[in-house]
Amino acid sequence: MQQLLSKMIGRKVDIFCGGTARLRGEIVKVEERVLHLKDEDGGTCYVAIEKIAAVWEVRDDEKRAGFFFSGPPNNR
């Protein structure tokens, strides 16, 4: 896992550690079994690599929850 994460430095990822623990951020550094993530607010998070169950790269076209209307406007 440490080698895989080292190859992903500079990429934005989601990290799953089991249960409801899910983190998102850019991989800044991997050092001595610790992953360094930078979040969207510029804060740094440190994650023990042995606690990571899954990791995947965040897609740019990720869908967000909300409403989407594609029909003509309702002018009534």
- Write out the chain's pLDDT in tens, 76 residues: 999 999 999 999 999 998 888 999 999 999 999 999 999 899 999 999 999 999 999 987 655 555 555 556 666 6
Three-state secondary structure call for residue 25: strand
What is the chain's Cα-based Rg? 17
The two three-digit tokens of residue 22, written as one number? 């899910």
Buried b (16+ CB within 10 A) or exposed e, 7-24: ebeeebbebebeeeeebe
Would you list the domain boundaries of the chain?
A: 2-57
Q: According to the model, what pLDDT value does residue 68 have?
A: 53
Q: What is the CATH number of domain 2-57?
A: 2.30.30.100
Q: What pTM was estimated for this model as a whole?
A: 0.74
